[in-house]
Structure 1
């Protein structure tokens, strides 16, 4: 009887919903209401907090969040002192979560809130992570081709597994967050970190709904930057490839030089080398050198970020903590 009483009096589990925001004034309140109504209707037995981190929005997003936070103490807000990029800001918020599990939800609700129920069911059955796998979305054909190529490339280059369609939406147990706090990641690549941590994982497929308000804040440069970060964070294979390519090109150049030398010696008067082969060869080798230097620069930049050891973000203010 006593044990049953203790069980019944145990505190309910707490879920942290984390939402990054940048110029989301048109839809940020809809996101808050969607989460609130979902927990009230579907998961009333759980406590929850809704943690918003604003990446220095230039519109009215912060003021809207502050009004919401005045009325609902479950809403917590972190306001960054400047824009620290789409990687650092949400990662910092995950580390600041206090729930038994944390679930990132996008402000534009393209990560469907209803999927959270399935996440929690799998979590309660013993999984430490539940990863949302996006199986359908509306995007240009060229971008889909690029994504497919990128995931195939990463699966070849990286020694750790990459999950096609995983963009960060999922449920992560508090012990996963604890491990993340112990890692030094001044420029975190979240998908790699999740793969490296391991633990028991379950997968839930979902279709990404259309964005209701505005347009995505991620530019083509942001997508390319994140792709390059993924490559240099996950694998040293490009560096090894540079060594192999350099050795291969040197062998080709050596034999090409020998062939030209023999032909010139055999046909001294009739064989004319001309400038075209020299120019083509010079530009070919120069292009390889420039590419290799750029690739080395990406790795040096990553090392530089680690050496500076700066914080993920600098907070301007906190509300309801």
Structure 2
């Protein structure tokens, strides 16, 4: 029997983990030719999430748990769990039930057709918020400026062949932009569209900062356009400044007594060029910060404990 690993990141999802595990169990009950393991990695939840998962794992050896020493974020933690999977294929999904486990059968069917990557894409969502519009605008922007073609409406939910997981392991990225990394590999992929349901229980852990972090990570990892725009803008603004200076000089020489510069143009010009400089210094800083993260080579997470893992899986 082929082994399928399901990997799920958790943080304060005590109201969802029971239903999540039950729905995944039900899906594999309809796939008798496959065995599965379900790896949940907890980012130091402050509620009863760990206790709930341990209770499930006590009755089902296929449910495995990794508990982190602290919250390592929504980027590093799921990647660490992905690399612990033993399956012939790995399915990554969130624990908030907004990525339906009912697509598992369709993912596996596409995988058996020969696709190494099966991406769950969400062109539609049943909830509309300001963050949703911001997220969609970002996906459109990064898709246009990226050096590789990213998968539209793809967040990482999908199935990955063992060969893909091993390549990701070799990349050894300490802070990966996963959806960009998958697109950068260049494998032919299948897309399975779904309508994202509303969250029934709990609250979203994404906020403006986490979305900003993800956006900047995607840009700095897969596009040089912003830093090159800064360079080109620097040339253009320098040329403009020189031209304005020459015009003022000539006008002053021709009308020495009548021409008075005044304070307003100086103040406006000062704040304009200062704001442009600060903006592009910020962009440069983001690229430097990304390089700094890569150079540090910190581990993805530090584990506190494991449940239902064999000794040789550590």
Provide the residue aligned with 2:60 in structure 1. 72
- Look up the match of 2:24: 35
* Residues 1:51 and 2:39 aligned together: yes
Answer whether contact 2:177 2:218 (CA < 8 A) is retained. yes
2:281 alignment partner, one of 269, 293, 297: 293
Where structure 2 has 5 or more consecutive residues not aligned to the other structure, the ranges are 310-314
Instruction: Give the distance between the partners of 1:242 and 1:299, measured in 2 at CA.
Output: 12
Q: 2:234 aligns with which of 246, 262, 266?
A: 246
Other-structure match for 1:205: 193
Matches of 1:315 and 1:99 in 2, distance apart? 21
TM-superposed deviation, 1:61: 0.6
Q: Tell me which residue corresponds to 1:219.
A: 207
> In structure 1, the residue corresponding to 2:154 is in which secondary structure?
coil
Cα distance in structure 2, aligned partners of 1:212 and 1:151: 25
Q: Secondary structure at the match of 2:227?
A: helix
Measure how far apart 1:143 and its partner are.
Answer: 3.1
Unaligned segments of structure 1, at least 5 residues: 1-11
**2:100 equivalent among 105, 112, 119:** 112
**CA distance, structure 1, for counterparts of residue 43 and residue 131 of structure 2:** 26
Q: Which of 195, 207, 226 lines up with 2:183 in the alignment?
A: 195
**217, 237, 240: which one pairs with 2:225?**
237
Please report the TM-score for the alignment, with normalisation by the length of structure 2.
0.96
- The answer for the alignment partner of 1:16 in structure 2 is 5
Show the counterpart of 1:142: 130
Runs of 4 or more, structure 1, over 4 Å off, are: none
Output the CA distance in 2 between the equivalents of 1:151 and 1:221.
Answer: 16
Give 1:278 shift: 0.7
How many residues align? The count is 309
Residue in structure 1 matching 2:173, options 176, 180, 185: 185
CA distance in 1, matches of 2:238, 2:59: 69
Give 1:141 shift. Answer: 5.1
| Contact kept? 2:75, 2:175, Cα under 8 Å | yes
